[in-house]
Every structure is written in C-alpha cells, then in structure tokens.
Structure 1
C-alpha cells in the first residue's frame, strides 16, 4: 500500500510538471509565431507622424549627435537635427532624401560641409544652418538647391563667400547672414542679382559702408533690408536699386553711433514704410535730411535709445512726414512728456513710449492726437492713470502695465467709451471699485492681474462690461470668489485667475458667465471640496484648469455632490499636482456629468488605484494623462467605458507590466507613453490588444536583457507602423549585464538555440514522464501487447514457411523452473505414465541450437493443447509470459480449445490484473486449481484428462472450457 501511494504521488507530480511544460511551450510558440503590428524605432530621432504620413516630420534635437543619423526615413518632409554636436556634413549624409522641404541643422558645431552634400535635396525650400561654426561658403556648397526659398546662416563665423556660392539659388527669397564676420558687400553681390530675393538680413557684421554701386547696378526686388549693428560710416544710395524696399533697419549703425547719410534722390527709397533708427547717433543737422528721404512713404518709425535731449528734434522731423502713423520711442530715458514734445504728431494712430522713465505726463501731452488708436505706456514709473488719458476718445488699446499705479479712480477712464483692450497688470492696485470700469462699455480684453487687491468688491456686478470677452486676473492676491462677482460679464469667454491665493469659491460665484469657455484656476489654495453648485451657470464651459491647488479626498467612495455634474459641455479638465500630498483618492463619481469630456489630465496626484467606475461618465474621452502617480498595478476595468481613448500617458507610475491593456478594449489607442516605470518585459499580447497603436515610448524602464525579451527586441528591429520612441536608448537594468548595456545590443540568435534546447529537454522530460506513467500503470498491458505482436509475427512466419503441423504431441507443458518438481513428480507420471499422453517439455524436447522463440512457437503449434502451470513465479517469468501469450494468440486465431490453465496457487483476481490481462482470461475460461483438489486429486486428474481428450470443437461447445463450470 505504501509503495502504491508513493507511485500515485509521483504520478501526480509528473502530471503537474507535464502541464507546466506544455504551457511554457505554448507561450513560447505564441511569442515566436504571433506577429502583431511590427514596431520600428529610429536610433536617435522620433517621427512626429506615421511612416505613411505625407507631411512626415523627423525630430533629432538635443541627442548629442556627432553625425547625421543614417536611418532617417526617405519620405521625410521636415527634418530637425538642431541642438547637437555635429561638426561635419558629408556628401552621403542626405542621400536619397529627395522629398525633404525643411531642414534645420541650427545650433551644432558645423564647420565644414562637403561639396554636393545637398545634391539629393531637390525639393528643399528651407535650410537653417544658424548658430554653427562655418567660416567659408564654398562654390559647390549649395549645389542641387534650386528650389530653396529660405536660407539661414546667422550666428556663424563666415568671413569668405566664394563668387559662385549662391549661383544655383535662383528661387531664394529670404537670406539671413546676421552675426557673421563679413566685411565687403561684394561678397553677397551674386545673391542680390536674383529678382526673387525679398528679405536680406546682414546685421551684426563688419560692413563699413553701404553703397548702391557695391551691390548692384540694376533694380532689385528686396522688400526687407536689415543692416543694423554694423560699423557703417556711410550709407549712400546713388541709383534706384531698391525700388520695392518696404522695411529698412539701420539701428545702431555707424562707428561710435555716427552715420553719414547720402541719398541723392528721395525717390530712391520711396517705398519704405517701416524704418528703424534705434541708437543711430546722427546730428540734428542730418535729421531732416534723413527723414526727407522717406517723406512720401514712411508709416512707422522706431527710435530706440536716442536720448531725451534729441527727442523733440526727431519727433518734429518725423511727424512732419505726411503718412507717418506709428511712432515708437523706446528706452530713451524720457522722464516727462510735455505738450510741445508731440505737438506736431496730430496724425499718429499708434504711440509707443514704453521702457522709459515716465513719472508724469502733461494734461495736454496728447492734445493734438485726435486720431490716436493705440497708446503704450508700459514699463514706466507712473503712480496713477494720467489725466491726459481721459481726453483720448479715439483710443481703442491702452497699455499701462508694469508701472507703480497704486489706485484706480472712478474717473480714470471716463470718455474712453471706445476702448476695447486695456492692460494694467503688474501694478500696486489694492482694490477695484465698482465704478472704475463703468464707462468702458466696449471693452473686450482686460488684463488687471499681478496687483494687490484681495477681493473683486463688486467691480463686475453691474453689467457695465457686457462686451468683455477676456478677463485676466492672474498673479494677484485674491482669496475668495463671492456670489455674483462676475454677474455682469455676460459675454465673457475666458477668465484667467491662476497664481492667486483663492481658497474659497462660494456657490453662485460664476453666476452670469453663461458664455464662458475657458476658466483657469490653477496655482491657488482651493482646499474645500467642490460641490455641484460651485460651477453653476457655466453651461458652455469647454476648458477648466484646477491644477496645483490643495484638493483632496479621503476615499474612492461616491461623492454626495460631484463637483462637475453641471458641466455637460466641458471638453478639457486639468487637475494635476494637488499639494502638498496630492489628491490621493479619485472618487468613483468624481467625473459625473462630464459626458463631453475629451481630455483629462490627472498626473502627479499620488493616486494608487482607479475605481472601475471612474470613467463611466466620460464615454468620449480621447486623451488621458495619469502619469506621476503610484499605481504599481492597474486593472483593465476602468478603461472599458472609454473605447475611444486615443492617447494614454503613464510615465512615472511605478508599473511593473502593461498586462492591464489585455482586456481593456483600447482598440483606438494610438499613442502610449510609459516612461520611467518598472517594466521588465513587453509581451505580444500587450501589443496586439491595442491594434491602432502608432506611437509608444518606454524609455527609462527596468528591461531584462535575456531571452524573455527576445520577441520584443526582434519586434523593435523590424519596420512597420508602430514607432517605439528612443528604443536604442533602452538600457538593461538586471545586474547580470554590465552597466549601460543597451537592450537592442542583446544578441537574440542564441535564444533560438536555447528554445531548441528547451524543446528537446521538454520532449525528453515528457517522454520520461510518459514512460514512467506507462511503467507504473500500464506496464503489463504494454507487455501483453508486445508479446501478442510477437506471437502474430511468428504465426505469420510459420504460415509462410511451412504447412500446418499435424502434431507430434498431445500437449505442450508451459511452466516455470521453480515449479519443475511438481511437473516431474505429479503431472508427468499421471499424464504420460498412467493416461498415456505424449507431452512436450522444453528441457527435454526443444531442438538444441534452434532459437528459443522458434522452439516455443513450434511446440505450441505442434501440440494439440498447451497446459500452462501457473504460479506467482510463472507470472513474473519473461519466457513463460511469451509462452502463454503465444498460446492465447493461437486460441484467438483458431477459435478452438487449445489452452488449459492449471493454477498451483490460489492467486486473488486483483493480483492477476497487471499480468498479461490474466484476470480477463480467467473470467472467460474454466481453469483447474491444484490447491482446491484437496483430498480428491482423482477428480482433478479426471478433469484434466477430459480437457486433453477434446479435439476440434470450439470453446463454446466444450462445457469444460466455456466457463459454465468453476474450479474445485
């Protein structure tokens, strides 16, 4: 019994091992044969669109590249390789990139470009080589760029330009050579011959003169010319070479700020409408001469850092120009604006006096400016709103920002009924009275943030600003939003109040804002749990920002008053970074009512789990950012209600796997970002569960570099529809590999060998298990089948080789050697001596030298009967087993009475079942039992004689063999 229990336990253990092996084989086969959307990754770049997008943009910025990447897709239209360490551009770097339209290589270390490097860029329109170290432009530098329209070479070290450098750039429209080391205009003479060139920037170089005979003898198509910050001593135009020029920048020109002006005919610059003379140190005698050159066309004049003592001279000269409408007097240290300073500027529509030192303006400063539309007084030292403002009834835009204004009066903006834009931010205003803006009935934009008022004090309750669309109150000291604070702003569309100190929002605070679209409440101190009435009335609100506040919840349980239940039109909700500990829990019905929500940003909230019902109220959700939380584990249930989700951000969420994607039904997810987590491997099931995926980023994870990731590594190296961003930077985190080893450096070829070894080992194990199982449970059935098969073979061989044997013996005695004494002392004397039967015994009658099996076959088929003397020793004997199986086969084959069973021992039926199916045979046939003969051995021998006498009848016809009589 103990042995049997041990065998059964071993069998169960073997079965479990077998099941585990089969499961491992199946999973590994899935990894090899399942082929989800194959991924691709560029070594140092990202593709902003898909590989099939006709406007594909490839970005390789800030990657510390030393050379142009060699795996850039040929279909790229915009290529950005800026902010790297590339020093040399080779001829083969852009081979086959024949559809690129925009190429940005700014902010590198490029000092040399091989000739013909751009030959394949036949469709290029914009080339940016700014902020590099080029010193020379060679003749073959721009070969192939016949379609180029914009060329940026600013912030280089260019000293020399070959005469034929620009000869192929016939379609160039804009050239920027600012901040180089050019000295002679003749160097750019070839480019000036192109009639398509419209904008030329050559400021911050070393030009000492600008003379028309140096640049061209024919008319040019230039519209914008910037020669600022050059040591120009002379500006001379002696011919009509710039007939289309509209913008001229001469700021900070001339040695020591002086400039000799020589324009013989005012018609030569008759198209210039915008002129910049910032920092030009011209004498008063020359002012009239300079401005007369633009007398017929100038509309905008900028004067920067010219000194207060010359302001009057310049403004008088400028305002005498009939078409002048815009005057900018920046950073000129102006302290006071008198009536005389701007008296002649009666036709101005825009005046910019920002960045000065103004503390006061005369009440009649702008008396003559009846057409003034825009006035900029920002970045000065005004302590109040100047009284002169009240007289500017034509004003539409007023900027008083960044001053020292400490009070607003009810009469400050009287008569400004046409004002539409008012900037008064970054002052020291302590409060706002309700009458301050009462006259501004057409005001649409009001920026009054970064002041010191604590409440709105009913400033917007009376409905005077019914046209106001944008109200900016950022960066202030607001603490409470009271009921009806914005009641009068019925047209308001955007309300910005971030970076205040708001801690309380009373119910009804936003009453009246029925047209509000954008509400920005970030970076405040909102701690009280918001209720459904908090946002009452905001029926058209599209975007709500509550980030960086102090909102928190104690459980995931349902809220009695969900905060957004009335915001059915809201499309964007931002609540990231609640301080100091985060929101911690996201209530299950937190998003109730947001049936139109498209974007939800809930990162950095210290959330540890998502309730399955979190998103059941947002079926249209497209973008979800839950990064910087502590999920560790996510389940698929929360994502089931948002099948339209297109973007999912899960960076720094401590996730060990992406198995939650399996069963999440995210069939439309195209962008997945899971950087800075604890991922060790990616399975094919996780990828196939998101069939629409086109962009995935997995940088900074703990990938294991072994064969468990072989599928993922091979998938990364393929090229198809899914972009795996920065895949070549993925590092191995397991300690068995050297530090900084990259995941894609792992050689997966040996994994196939390992797989074959695994399969081989598994097969050996399975075979061993099957053999063990068979040995313990089916050993004798197999032996029986084996012997039966041998009997069949010998029978077939006998039939083919010889005629039927006529029989030399009456019976063949099959017995074990241990039972030989009984056979010789009891059986043989009775059957041969007394009854006269001829018996065949193997030790006496087998033919010497003949194979044993042949002797057994001949003996069984050469005798009329086979008598099997059965004992326990007999059942364990290999040759006895063969003999009885051969006799049994003859019985089955001939269907005649040829087998007699004689038991020398009483063997229970349950002990017979493992042996040659003996139990079944005993059930079918009558047998003789020697132990049961007892005191009547004569009956035993008589029955045996009768059995030997039966000749050719079938077993059914012989009552001794039909099973009708049982043993004695």
Structure 2
C-alpha cells in the first residue's frame, strides 16, 4: 500500500500507529473530499465544511473506514457507487445537509452499516431499494426532514434488521398503523415526537413488538384524537412518552387506560400543565402496576394530596422536577415502598419536605435549586438506604456534624451553590461511606482542622469558587482515600501554605489550584515547600493565578511531587525558572508553561525530566528552538510552540526530536527563504511527525512575501549556491575597486584598515590565551548622533539608573586626543557587549558602519554572544540587503524592536535587561 506522509492539508491524524486511526478535517472550509487521505484511516471526520457532493472516487481507497462523519456540509448529491469500496463502514453521519431524495443505489456497498444518521436534510422521497442491501442496519435517524406521511416511510419499515427509528419533526399529521406494512421483527424503539399529529390510530398489531414509543410534543394547536381499536395491539410497549402533547388530562387518562394490555414500565407525562386536581397520578398507578418510572416534571403541581401515590407502591423513579411545589403532606410518599429515586428539584420548597423521610427504600434524592435555607437532623431521618443527596442551588448557610445521623450508606453529597460561610464542626462519622462531596460556589473563607477527619472513604472533594484563604494544618487529616481535590478559584496565597496543610492526603492524585492568588517575591528556596507531603499526586494545575500572577517560581516549589505526571502552569507571568525547578519532578510527562514571558528559556530547565512526552510553550516569546539541542528529548511526542517569534526551523532542531509525533507551530512569523527549505520539505513528506495545520502557515518575511503560504515557497533556487557565486563576483569587484581607489584615499582607509587588523589580532590573542578579561563597561552603545535624544532620555536612564549597568558612550567616555578608530576599538573590547541602536540614519552613517563591523568580529569569528540589536523603527528587508552581515544577523540572532504601544515598553526593557545578563558563551548555548 502507498505510504502517506503524516502532514495532510487541512487535516490532522491521530493514532497513526494504532489500528483505529482518526483523520480530522472538520471546520476547514473544504469544498470537496480530499484526495490525499491515508488508505488505512478508520475514523474520518469531514464535518462543518462546504462539501456539496460525494463522488464515486472520494472513498475508493478507504476499505478500512469504519466511521464517516460528513455532517453540517452542503451535500445535495451522493453519486451511485460512492460507497462501493467502503464495506467496513459501521456509522455514517449525514446530518445537516441538503439531500432531497435517497436513491436506490446511493448506499450500495455499505454491507456493515449499523447506524445511519440523516437528520436535518430536505428528504421528501426515498426510492424503493434505497436500503435494500443494508443487511446490518439497526438505527435510522430521519429527524427534521419532509417525509409527511407513513407511506413515504414504507421502504424504511422494510429494513429487516432495524431496531431503532427516529422520524420526529417530519410534519406527519396522520399516524395510523394501517400504513405500516412489513414491520421489522426487531424494531424496538420508534420516535415520532414533535410532529403535528392530529389523528393517532392504532388499528393493527403492526407495532405489537415495540418497546418504546415517543409521541412527546406531538399534536396540533387544537387537539390530538386517539383511537386504539384493541388494547393488545401495543402489548409489548414498556416506555411511553406523551410529554408536551396537545391533550387534556382526560384524554391522557383515556389513552393510558386503553393501553392496559401493555406492561408499561415508564410513563413520561412531563410539560402537560397537569395540576393536583386532575386526579391523574392515582389512576395511572392503579391501571399500570408495573410502572417503575413516572416522569411529571415541568407541570403545574402546587401541592400534592396526601393519598395521591397510594397506588404507586411499585414505583422506582419519580420525577417532579420544575413544578411549583411548596409543601408536601407528611404521608404523601408513605406508600412508595419501592421508590429508589425522587427528584423534587426546581420547586419552591423553603424546607426539606418531611414527607421524604418516610421513603425508607430511597437511594437518590434531588432537592436542588429550591429555596431551602437550613437543614435539620430529622430531615433525613430513616433514609438509611440513601446513596445520593443533591442540595445544590439552595440558600443553606450552615451545616453541622449532626445533620446526617442516619445516612450511613451515603456515597455522594452535593452542597454546591449555597451560602455556606463555614463548616463549624467536623462532619460526623455517619458519613463514613461517603465517596464524593461537592461544596463549590459557596462563601467559605477558611477550612478548620479536622473538618473532614471522619470522611475516611471520601475520594472526590470539590471546593471550587469559594473565598478560601486559610487552611489550618490538619484540615484534610483522615482523608486517606481522597484522590481528587479541587481548590481552584479561591483566595489561596503563599501564606495559606502553612506547614502540614496537606497532611493526611496520602492517596491524592489530582490537585487543582488554578485561579487563586499564589505569588512569591523571589525564586529562592522555600523553608516549607507546600507539596512536600503529596508523594502520590500525578496531576497539578496552577494556571492563571490572579492579580499579578505567580511571577517568581521558588526553585523547590515542587518538592515532594515524586509521582507527578502532568503540570499545568500556564498564564502565570513567570519570567524566569531556576534550572533545578523540575529536579523535584523526575516522573513528569506533560508540562504546560504557555503564556509566560520565559524567553530566553534555559535548556538546563528540562534536563531533570527525561520522561517528558508533551511540552506546551505556546505564546512565551520564543525566538529560537535552540534549547532542544542540549536536552535528550528521547520521549517527546508533542511539542506546542504556537504564537511565538520563530522565523526559521533548522535541521538540527528536527534531528534533536527523533520521536516527535505532533509539532504545533501555528501563528509564528516564518521567513520564506532558503533557510527554511529543509523544514518545508520535511513537514510535507515526513512519515513520522505531523506539523499540525502546516498548510495554514504564512510568511512574515520578507515583506514582499508577507501573507503567502509557507508550503508554497519555491525552493528550487536553493539548490544553487548563489551566495557563493555573488561572494566570488563581489570579491573580484572589490579588489579591482580597491586598486583604483587606494591611491586616492590611501591615508584614511589605511588607518581604518590598520585598526581593523589590530582588532582582529586583539581578538585572536584573547582567544588563544584563553584569558578571562575584566571589562570596564557592560555595554558599548553604537548610535547615530541624530538618535542621541532617545539614547540620552530613554536608554541611558533606564539601563544605568534603574538596572545599574555601566555604559560606554562616545561623546562621554572616549579619551580626548586619541584617534577615533583607536577609541572605538579599545572601548568595544573594554565592554562585555555592544548595543547597536539601528535606524535609517544609522545605516547611512560611515562611523556607525565601522563600529558594527568591529563589534562583529567576536560574534562572527568566535560566535560570542556580544551583540545586541535595537531597531528604533521598522527597516524593510530590502533596506538591509546592502548590509549582508547585518541581514544574516537579524535572521539568526535575537533582536529587539522598540514598541509602538506604550504598554509594551516595560516588556521591552525587561528583554533588554535579560539580554545584557547573558554570559559570553557560545552562540548555540
């Protein structure tokens, strides 16, 4: 079989090395099915595009395809034979297209198809043989089409293997079983809801095997007439949905009564405007004593009669959500001896209805979103079987240890979105089996010692969105089985991390602390690292600390996280990380440091985490991938460096990442030049690494190519070494020119050449002797006199007064009487770095040109990092062409651009300060 490159235009590949390979091409504005899809794709998603038709050759090579999603396109035509070679497809999703008719041969070849989704098309006609060869088809969804009658669906009912049919929203007015012939033997579920059915006639036993019939929200504005000629014509029915139908309570009772031959287990009577005066519940339970689920949500019950459920002793699930109940008589639920689930959510209770305490069999009680202000011990008395209690969205302000005396089997307790100010006493040991507790979105500011000590089985605890700033040491003691702790969106600060606050969490796996107020003044080691006791934690989230962000990251902040696998530390305003930071997390596999101003990033930072498989460095200001050259990234599978300042990806960067599967470089300012030739070819043809959405990358440089696609760069010219040819030609021309001009300008140029030679010898001597020179200045400033105002008013005060660097300026520090060139040479070599302030005036200056040439010796000969370029204004690429070395320098080295926006100026000074801090190491270091 043909081997397909990993990079596909407008698509991404997932699981290429697995048996179920996914190709995702959704939301790519495709007008047709791509022709370059890999032959071994198993799952293909082409949804949300502009595809108008499916053609015979679109899927010809995809014999292993099992799932095809082409929903939300503009498909109006599917050619006969389109699926002739795709016999493995099991699920076909054609939802939200513009199909009008299903032809006889449209689906030929889909012998393995089990699910066909055709929702939201314009289908008004299905030809007789459309499904003839679909021998395994179990589910057909024709919701929201234009099949106005059951006659139009005759071909559908002939699918012998059909188990589930959805024909809701098809403008069906008359439903009579006389129109249904050849009903599939295995048809179990029929959905005809949301149709304007005015006449419902069960005149034959065509649907006698049906298990579920959904007629909810059907009927016209006037009325729906039902005729059931024989109660046993629907004798197999177990689930009946009548919610939202245009029927009076008497009509509903009539229908339910006539179905007395059916062994109904679920009856859905939601949103029918029922009230307690309709006397409907008693009769439903009397006529159908097998009913286990009764759905009455969304009605208008204000109260319940004391005996309303006396015939419902067989009920398992009762849903009274979204009514107007305020009071329920004590004896109302007394007869519900088998009830396991009761929902009274979204009513108007101000107290827990005491009637619930009579249901001794109850396992789940939902009282969420009422107006309950307090709970007392008797509220849940006798509910010894209760496992799930939901009190979300009420107005509870206090809870105490004795509130749940009999809930010995409770597994889940939800008290979120209330007004809890504190937990004044520890939870009682009656909740010893509790596994999950939610206390999110309350008003708690502190957690006291021992609060959870009796919840020895708790595995999940959410305290998200409170105001917690104080956690007493020992607050979590006793939670030896807790695996997940959510403390996000609180007011936790560094002061919160007292010694021992995480004591007792020996089994904790997932800790979330994002959106708090954690911040440190320095990166120095902490005396009490906060996670020192969390040796089992695998997942830690610290993202987006509020106010000024985390900024400084203490070097031993992660100490104790011996099992950590994933750390999310994005958007924290971290500008520097100690190289030892991750030495405390040797098992780390996934790291996210996105949206932090970390550039430059030290390679030493990643050396302690050799097991890293995913690294996310989105939007950190990276200007080079050189950091990967000094680390053994032997297990790295995913590298995300989108929205940075990367211009060129060099071969050495690619070679340093041998096992990379996904590389995300979106929204970087790439240079369309021969420098990127190898990267472009590799991205297009590599079989192991996928450069995500590579075909969307655009050029930022040179300006003439700005906005063009990077992949379309014509690199044929790169095969000829034009630079060498030009070099030879220019050298010959320069020599000839020098011979002509040497006599005319001998004195001036001779002096210059002499000092240039001295600088070269000076540089070579220090390189040879290896002596370490002590510098008089931190930086020599090379600038044109017309830019003196910016140098004196901006650069000088900031670097000397604020950051305390020693600068050398020619008008201030040159030795009077000494030759200018001698002054330049001596002071450049007496300074650690040279700062060139580049403008159009600078490029036109003869002396500035000499200064940058002299300063370049150390950079181009010894590769010392001694040159810092500051562009005060935009210099087009063409304008740099005469300055060949400077042009290459701008392509390869860090340079700074004076920002136009005032709010970006502090970041500019920070970057310049960091550039002056770097030592003289090799360029690649």
Tell me the secondary structure at the aligned position of residue 378 of structure 2.
coil
Does the CA contact (< 8 Å) of 1:296 and 1:322 recur in 2?
no
Q: Is the 8 A contact 1:162 1:187 kept in 2?
A: no
Superposed, 1:96-111 pairs within 5 Å as 96-111=61-76
Task: Report the equivalent of 1:501.
Answer: 467
For 1:702, the equivalent position in structure 2 comes to: 669
Which SS does the other structure have where 1:573 is aligned? Answer: strand
1:726 to 2:698 alignment? no
Q: Which runs of 5+ in 1 are unaligned?
A: 1-36, 771-968
2:863 — aligned with what? Answer: none
Aligned to 2:716: 749
Per the alignment, residue 352 of structure 1 pairs with 319
Partner of residue 450 from structure 1, selected from 417, 441, 453: 417
CA contact (8 A) 1:432 1:459 kept: no
- 2:881 is aligned to none
Describe how 1:295-314 pairs up with structure 2 within 5 A.
295-309=261-275, 312-314=278-280
Residue aligning to 1:178: 143
Encode CA deviations 1:550-591: one digit per residue, 9 max, x unaligned.
101111111111110111111111111001111001111111
Matched, 1:521 2:518: no
Aligned mate of 1:47, from 13, 22, 34: 13
What's 1:489 paired with? 455
Deviation at 1:305, TM superposition (A): 1.7
After superposition, the C-alpha distances for 1:510-530 in whole angstroms (9 at most, x for unaligned) are 111111100000111111342
Deviation track 1:590-627 (CA, whole Å, cap 9, x = no partner) reads 11111110111111111112211111111111111111
Q: Name which one, 1 or 2, has greater alpha-carbon Rg.
A: 1
Which of residues 475, 478, 482 in structure 1 aligns to 2:444? 478
Q: Give the Cα–Cα distance (whole angstroms) in 2 for the partners of residues 230 and 245 of structure 1.
A: 19
Shift of residue 737, structure 1, vs aligned partner? 2.7
How many angstroms does 1:353 deviate by? Answer: 0.1
Distance 2:149 2:295 in 1: 32
| Contact 1:354/1:378 (8 A) holds in 2 | yes
Measure, in 1, the Cα distance between the counterparts of 2:186 and 2:337.
37
- Are 1:263 and 2:263 counterparts? no
State the number of aligned residues. 731
User: Which residue is equivalent to 1:93?
Assistant: 58
Distance between the aligned counterparts of 1:459 and 1:509, measured in 2?
10
Q: What residue in structure 2 maps to residue 682 of structure 1? A: 649
Give 2:587's match in structure 1, choosing from 615, 620, 627.
620
Match in the other structure for 1:333: 300
Residue matched to 1:30: none
What does residue 393 of structure 2 align with? 426
Q: Deviations over 1:756-775 (max 9, x none)?
A: x33445678999999xxxxx
Alignment partner, residue 553 of structure 1? 520
1: distance between equivalents of 2:524 and 2:183? 81
- The answer to whether residue 509 in structure 2 is matched with residue 542 in structure 1 is yes
Provide closer, same or farther for how the CA distance between residues 419 and 585 of structure 1 changes in structure 2, counting only shifts above 3 A.
Answer: same
In structure 1, what is the equivalent of residue 678 of structure 2?
Answer: 711
Matches within 5 A, 1:796-811: none
In the TM superposition, residue 204 of structure 1 has moved relative to its aligned partner by 0.9
Q: Indicate how the Cα distance of structure 1 residues 505 and 220 shifts in structure 2: closer, same or farther if over 3 A, else same.
A: same
Aligned to 1:408: 375
State whether structure 2 residue 542 is matched by structure 1 residue 597: no
- The structure 2 residue matched to 1:246, chosen from 195, 200, 211, is 211
Separation of aligned partners in 2, 1:670 and 1:547: 26
> CA 1:172–1:557 in 2, change beyond 3 Å: closer, same or farther?
same
CA distance in 2, matches of 1:594, 1:289: 64
* Distance in 2 separating the partners of 1:40 and 1:518: 37
Q: 1:459 to 1:393 in 2, by over 3 A?
A: farther
- 8 Å Cα contact 1:670-1:694 kept in structure 2: yes
Name the stretch that deviates more: 211-220 or 179-188: 211-220
Partner of 1:165: 130
Separation in 2 of the partners of 1:215 and 1:642?
67
**Aligned-partner Cα distance in 2 for 1:520–1:218:** 53
Task: Please state whether the residue corresponding to 1:737 is helix, strand or coil.
Answer: helix
Distance 2:257 2:653 in 1: 72
Q: Are 1:372 and 2:339 counterparts?
A: yes
Distance 1:459 1:375, change over 3 A: farther
Tell whether 2:536 aligns with 1:564: no
TM-score, normalized by length of structure 1? 0.73
- Cα drift, residue 402 of structure 1: 0.6
SS in 1 for 2:700: coil
CA–CA distance in 2 between the matches of 1:475 and 1:672? 36
Alpha-carbon separation, structure 2, partners of 1:547 and 1:270: 56
Instruction: Answer yes or no: is the 8 Å Cα contact 1:504–1:528 preserved in 2.
Output: no
Cα separation, 1, equivalents of 2:701 and 2:183 = 71
Q: What is the CA distance between 1:66 and its match in structure 2?
A: 2.2
Report if the CA contact (8 A) 1:122-1:146 is conserved. yes
| Residue 467 of structure 1: aligned partner | 433
| 2:86 pairs with 1:121 | yes
For the 8 Å contact 1:129–1:154, the answer to whether it is kept is yes
Cα 1:91–1:218 change in 2 (3 A) is: closer
Residue 523 of structure 1 contacts residue 547 of structure 1 at CA under 8 Å; is this kept in 2? yes
Partners of 1:524 and 1:311 lie apart in 2 by 48
SS at match of 1:728: helix
Secondary structure of the corresponding residue to residue 616 of structure 1: helix
Listed one character per residue, the Cα deviations across residues 693-749 of structure 1 (whole Å, up to 9, x for unaligned) are 111111000111111111111111214111111000011112523442111111011
- Comparing 211-220 with 527-536, greater Cα deviation is found at 211-220
Distance 1:685 1:545 in 2: 38
Q: Which of the pair has the greater relative contact order for Cα pairs under 8 Å at 6+ separation?
A: 1
The structural deviation recorded for 1:632 is 1.5
1:740 equivalent in alignment to 2:707? yes
Measure the CA separation in 2 of the matches of 1:705 and 1:311.
78
| CA distance in 2: counterparts of 1:348 and 1:93, whole angstroms | 53
State the distance in 2 between where 1:310 and 1:531 align.
Answer: 57
